[in-house]
Structure formats: C-alpha cells, structure tokens
Amino acid sequence: MSRGSPDERVARALALSEEILSAAESGNLKSLEPLDRQRMELLKSFRRATPQVAAADQVLLQQIAQLNDRAIGLLEHQRRGKGRDLDMAAVGRRAVAAYSSTRLQR
C-alpha cells in the first residue's frame, strides 16, 4: 500500500458506514448491530496497526464520522417518533377507559 492510498480497513469501514446509514433510513434496525460490530473491529484493527494516520485515511475517517452522526440522528428521530406514538396510544387508552365506564352507567 502506498502512503497516498487509504488503508483497506478504513475503506471497508466507510462502506459499512454507508450500509448503516441506509439501514437507518429504511428502519432496518436488526442489521445495524452486526454492521456496526464489523465496522468497529476494522477500525480497532486499523488503530492498533497504524502509528500515524495518513491524510487519505483521515479523510475517510472524517466521512465515517459524518455518516455515523447522520445515522444516529435518524435513529434518534425515529425513537422520538415511537415515543410520541406510544404517548398517543396511552392517551387513547385512557379516553376509551373513561368513556367506556360512563357508557356502562347509563
């Protein structure tokens, strides 16, 4: 590998980051953990073997961080949406319980 080309582990981690973002966008939560685990192992391996990060690798690592931030943002947005849905369902259950007891008294 020449000093100017990125490390293959970092390049593969970038590809995995793109897959993670795609899975987050589509709501495919089950695939996120294995993809993230693979990416983490690649990055750990790179870190252990690389005393100084080349500029090409720094660029890819920055892209990985940006993709990761976007995926986390999407997942957080989905989590908040599910929380709102659960809150609305609870309100609905309380309303049904309140009206059903009134209806029975008539």
Q: pLDDT tens for residues 75-86? A: 998 888 888 878
pTM exceeds cut of 0.95? no
For residue 27, is it left (φ>0), alpha (ψ between -120 and 50) or beta? left
106 pLDDT above the threshold of 60: no
How many of the other CB atoms lie within 10 Å of CB of 9?
Answer: 20
What is the structure's pLDDT at 84? 84
Length of the chain: 106
Q: What Cα–Cα distance (Å) separates residue 48 from each residue in 30, 44, 57?
A: 29, 6, 14
**With bands split at pLDDT 50, 70 and 90, how would you rate the model's confidence at 6?**
very high
Contact by Cβ (8 Å): 24, 74? yes
Q: Residues with Cβ < 8 Å from 87, sequence gap 6 or more?
A: none
Which H or E element spans position 75?
helix 55-105
Q: Which has more confidence, 51 or 103?
A: 51
